[in-house]
Amino acid sequence: MSTDIVADPFESSQAAVAARIGEILDAVVRKDFERLAGYHLDGPKFTKFDDVEPLERQDAATSARLEEEQFSGVEDLQATFDGLQIDVFGPVAVATGVFVWSCLAEGRRVSGRSRTTLVFVDHGGQWLIAHEHSSPFVAGP
């Protein structure tokens, strides 16, 4: 009996990825950067495109450093995903949604929303982010 990676919803894996996303958001809010880094694939196959500078492709080390820099200077960070959809294809999962955040930065409340895609791989029973892509809500020219 073979598994249809397109038709099978892989419900237990969907639940595991959803739980991992919850853990990721918790690590971000708590500024637990070591734990956050542990949720990412550490190696040459990790990539990230962010919607803030620098806009070039990032590797694992650059991504971890920039995330720590971005989140370290803020207070009262709140973060969630709206409209989260998780599609599992065997050992790979694609999560899409809108990352919604707000925080206190330099004494004032700021907030934002980004369309976000997270690609996870099942690495030894752990769902790890292999690729992140965020893009702002702006219309083209």
Distance CA 35, CA 40 (A): 9
What was the pLDDT predicted at 79?
95
**Cα(122)–Cα(29) distance, integer angstroms:** 24
Taking the C-alpha atoms of residue 114 and residue 69, their distance in angstroms, rounded to an integer, is: 18
Domains of the chain by residue range:
11-135
Q: How far apart are the C-alpha atoms of 54 and 139, rounded to whole Å?
A: 20
CB 5 within 8 A of CB 89: yes
Phi-psi region of 106 (alpha: psi -120 to 50; beta: other; left: phi over 0): left
Does 106 have pLDDT greater than 80?
yes
More confident residue, 91 or 53: 91
What letters, b where the CB count within 10 A reaches 16 and e where it falls short, cover 7-24?
eeebeebbebbbebbebb
Q: How far is CA 15 from the centre of its chain?
A: 16
**Are the beta carbons of 131 and 118 closer than 8 angstroms?**
yes
- Mean per-residue pLDDT over the chain, rounded: 93
Q: Selecting from 3.90.1150.10, 3.40.50.300, 3.30.70.260, 3.10.450.50, what CATH number does the domain 11-135 have?
A: 3.10.450.50
- What does the pLDDT look like over 45-79, one tens digit per residue? 999 999 888 899 999 999 999 999 988 889 999 99
Determine the pLDDT at residue 52: 86
